[in-house]
């Protein structure tokens, strides 16, 4: 069973990747009797609630429902759920289980971070994106009208329980969106994972357990390693943003409505790859392999009506902009990236234009 240690100043914990893990969740609960609160969405509970219930092995728990959706990732929802927890008898010694996609794990994690100044949380992510990204690393938060994830906290879980089996019910489009984050992990740090994603497309798209489990485990290993070296987004953690600079700009430009996050990252990886090629950082053969592999998992929704200028104008207002400078994570070769700032503006526009086609 692949288990990866996440060592942060806040806490050291295990991220476990194993089929059927949800039905064995009890073995990861602390011995001490604590009241358990499962924060989840109705769809996930309907599909997998019975399995988790079995996994809790007779421990009593309460379910706090969250209606889900990026638009509900708001402070108001956190307040409502906190009130509900109090009315259900939650106190400082309670334990929260965040069970769902990245929206639920971000909101549930944040609720745990602030409820009575912080109670422990176990993350049980149920989308591919949440399994390889949101559920590991301790970033939690909610959106403001002004932007995504602008209020939040670092709150590391007691454990991250990643069960690839729950992905069998995931809508195809959500699954493919998560696959782009897996490709990202390969490009930034693992030629082996990249090879799996480029050579076993049919197995991956067909949910072949061996390929799926390997790609998730390798992605979680990378996330655990990066977060352990750098919990709070210094240079190393920023490599996880490969494809996200242009990607966030595309999401914002299309009002967060046309593209799923992972699909925007697919666009962003292609644009960053073009940029790396234009700036002479990356060889043409590697650029071709990255772009081909991203395309094999497509298509993403149409880019019609989006202009290169509009994308580039959005870049400057990205949250990850540091002191007014746009930083790009650019591949040098497959498995290695570099953080680059001060890139020539005309190349930035040209890369966007080439990607928009
Ligand atoms: N904290 C972090 O480090 C981090 C990293 C990446 C992304 N995120 C956040 O994650 C969010 C996106 O997460 P997401 O892509 O998982 O979206 P999501 O949470 O909205 O889930 C997508 C949909 O799938 C449903 N679903 C979840 N699991 C399912 C299953 N097993 N079967 C069927 N349906 C299922 C959800 O209820 C939802 O309707 C964003 O808000 C983003 O900011 C956070
Ligand atoms: Zn992402």
C-alpha dist (Å) from residue 44 to 39, 67, 126, 318: 10, 11, 8, 32
Euclidean distance between CA atoms 279 and 259, whole angstroms: 28
Task: Report the pLDDT value the prediction gives residue 321, as an integer from 0 to 100.
Answer: 57
Euclidean distance between CA atoms 115 and 118, whole angstroms: 5
Task: Report the pLDDT value the prediction gives residue 320, as an integer from 0 to 100.
Answer: 59
Task: Report the pLDDT value the prediction gives residue 316, as an integer from 0 to 100.
Answer: 78
Task: Report the pLDDT value the prediction gives residue 250, as an integer from 0 to 100.
Answer: 97
Nearest ligand to residue 268 Cα = 2
Q: Are 94 and 85 in contact (CB under 8 A)?
A: yes
Task: Report the pLDDT value the prediction gives residue 318, as an integer from 0 to 100.
Answer: 66
Spatial CA neighbour of 240 closest among 184, 318, 309, 156: 184
Read off φ and ψ for residue 6, nearest 5 degrees.
-110, 110
Q: How far is the CA of 263 from the centre of ligand 2 (A)?
A: 9
Task: Report the pLDDT value the prediction gives residue 234, as an integer from 0 to 100.
Answer: 75
Q: Is 125 in the pocket of ligand 1 (CB under 6 A)?
A: no
The whole-angstrom distance between residue 100's C-alpha and the CA centroid of its chain comes to 12
DSSP string over 22-67: GGGGGGGS-SS---EEEEE-HHHHHHHHHHHHHHTTT--EEEEE--
Q: Are 28 and 16 in contact (CB under 8 A)?
A: yes
Residues noted as catalytic: 117, 139, 181, 223, 233, 237, 241, 244, 248, 261
Q: Are 166 and 173 in contact (CB under 8 A)?
A: no
Q: How far is the CA of 99 from the centre of ligand 2 (A)?
A: 19
Nearest ligand to residue 177 Cα = 1
Element (DSSP H or E) covering residue 291: helix 284-296
Q: Is 155 in the pocket of ligand 1 (CB under 6 A)?
A: no
Task: Report the pLDDT value the prediction gives residue 103, as an integer from 0 to 100.
Answer: 97
Element (DSSP H or E) covering residue 350: helix 345-356
Per-residue model confidence as pLDDT tens digits over 338-355: 999 999 999 999 999 999
Q: How far is the CA of 65 from the centre of ligand 1 (A)?
A: 15
Query: Can you tell me which atom of ligand 1 is nearest the CA of 262?
Result: 15
Task: Report the pLDDT value the prediction gives residue 221, as an integer from 0 to 100.
Answer: 98
- Which amino acid residue places its CA nearest to atom 21 of ligand 1? 101
Q: How far is the CA of 31 from the centre of ligand 2 (A)?
A: 34
Question: What is the sign of the dihedral through the CA atoms of 111, 101, 23 and 87?
Answer: positive
Q: Is 184 in the pocket of ligand 1 (CB under 6 A)?
A: no
Q: Which residues of the chain are under the pLDDT cut of 70?
A: 233, 318-324
C-alpha dist (Å) from residue 104 to 10, 44, 98, 108, 173: 22, 10, 7, 6, 18
Q: Is 241 in the pocket of ligand 1 (CB under 6 A)?
A: no
Nearest ligand to residue 129 Cα = 1
């Amino acid at each position: 069973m692949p288990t990866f240690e996440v060592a942060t100043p806040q806490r050291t914990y295990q991220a476990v990747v194993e089929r059927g893990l949800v039905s064995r969740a009890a073995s990861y609960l602390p011995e001490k009797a604590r009241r358990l609160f499962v924060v989840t969405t109705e769809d996930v509970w309907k599909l997998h609630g019975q399995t988790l219930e079995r996994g809790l092995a007779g421990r009593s728990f309460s379910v706090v429902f969250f209606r889900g959706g990026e638009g509900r990732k708001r402070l108001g929802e956190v307040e409502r759920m906190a009130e509900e927890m109090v009315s259900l008898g939650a106190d400082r010694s309670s334990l929260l289980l965040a069970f769902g996609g990245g929206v639920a794990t971000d909101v549930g994690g944040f609720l745990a971070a602030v409820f009575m100044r912080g109670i422990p949380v176990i993350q049980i992510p149920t989308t591919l994106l949440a399994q390889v990204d949101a559920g590991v690393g301790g970033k939690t938060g909610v959106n403001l009208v002004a932007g995504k994830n602008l209020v939040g906290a670092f709150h590391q879980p007691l454990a991250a329980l990643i069960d690839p089996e729950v992905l069998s019910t995931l809508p195809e489009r959500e699954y493919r969106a998560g696959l782009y984050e897996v490709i990202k992990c390969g490009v930034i740090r693992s030629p082996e994972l990249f090879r799996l994603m480029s050579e076993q497309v049919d197995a991956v798209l067909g949910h072949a357990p061996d390929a799926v489990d390997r790609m998730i485990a390798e992605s979680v290993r990378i996330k655990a390693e990066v977060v352990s070296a750098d919990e709070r987004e210094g240079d190393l953690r920023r490599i996880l943003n490969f494809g996200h600079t242009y990607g966030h700009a595309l999401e914002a430009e299309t009002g967060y409505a046309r593209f799923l996050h992972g699909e925007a990252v697919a666009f962003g990886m292609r644009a960053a790859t073009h940029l790396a090629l234009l700036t002479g950082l990356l060889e043409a053969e590697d650029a071709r392999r990255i772009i081909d592999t991203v395309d094999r998992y497509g298509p993403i929704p149409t880019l019609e009506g989006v202009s290169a200028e509009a994308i580039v104008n959005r870049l400057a207002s990205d949250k990850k902009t540091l002191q007014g400078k746009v930083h790009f994570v650019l591949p040098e070769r497959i498995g290695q990236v570099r953080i680059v700032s001060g890139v020539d503006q005309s190349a930035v526009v040209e890369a966007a234009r080439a990607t928009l086609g």
